[in-house]
Amino acid sequence: MEEKETGPEKKHPRKEWTKEIKAENSWTMFRVISEFVEGFETLNQEGPCVSIFGSARSKPDHPYYKKAVDIARLLTEEGYGVVTGGGPGIMEAANKGAFLYGGRSVGLNIDLPFEQQSNPYIDPGKNLNFRYFFVRKVMFVKYSQAFVVLPGGFGTLDELFEVLTLMQTNKISRFPIILVGTPYWKGLRDWIRDVCLNQEHNISPQDMDLLPLVDEPEQVVQLINDFYKKTGALEPNYKL
């Protein structure tokens, strides 16, 4: 039987593509590890902190911007540091309230194509930049003793429901999650109660206790202080 001549081995495009993906995955792993290491090394030095979330679009003359400044100021007076996403709007307001009143002010910024620049009210050496949302979320949750959630968009909702899920499934210890702004949050809270709980039975009655709703900065601080008077020491969330 006559043997066919064979030329140089033809490169299959799928194999080449697979090699590129594997190489990219390896570098991604190292980038992720480096972000975790930098975050842990920086935030391990912080004392008790409260994370404050809200819209990047709120302007300094907006009532919720002013309220975020007051909340951060009061938290500072109680000895808490303030952690935000590091950007403008509500994040800037919260960092501002801590920074101007002598508190600890930390920013966990995220690299985005259309936003965001770090605000100027973050302590030197405490402005961390992340490429990956999931690494940034770990830092928020692991080192926060409370979440204060002011009105915001999809990013704020994502952070809110992420931590609610972690608490509901007992992946993290419970700590206060406080919604600020009845006109903004009441409709969502009512929907969770009426539809998720009462109509479809997709959550438990006690899950509603995770979502206290307030309007005044003093109420925020009171809820946090009351919680830790009952539960004891302030510690990072070592379940993560």
Whole-number pLDDT of residue 24: 65
Whole-number pLDDT of residue 195: 98
Residue 105 phi, psi dihedral angles, 5° rounding: -130, 115
Whole-number pLDDT of residue 144: 93
DSSP, collapsed to helix, strand or coil, labels residue 222 as: helix
Q: Which residue has the higher pLDDT, 136 or 115?
A: 136
Please give the average per-residue pLDDT across 35-45, as a whole number. 93
Contact 168, 207 (CB under 8 A): yes
Query: For the segment 215-229, what is each residue's pLDDT rounded down to a tens digit?
Result: 999 999 999 999 999
Query: For the segment 165-206, what is each residue's pLDDT rounded down to a tens digit?
Result: 999 999 999 999 999 999 999 999 999 999 999 999 999 999
Please give the average per-residue pLDDT across 40-62, as a whole number. 95
Whole-number pLDDT of residue 21: 55
CATH 3.40.50.450 assigned to domain 17-231? The reply is yes
Whole-number pLDDT of residue 127: 94
Q: Is the pLDDT of residue 239 over 90?
A: no
How high is the mean pLDDT of the chain? 89
Whole-number pLDDT of residue 146: 96
Please give the average per-residue pLDDT across 84-105, as a whole number. 97
Q: Is the pLDDT of residue 15 over 70?
A: no
Radius of gyration of the chain (CA): 22
Tokens representing 128? 């961390």
This prediction has a pTM of 0.86
d(CA 212, CA 221): 13
d(CA 18, CA 30): 19
Whole-number pLDDT of residue 117: 80
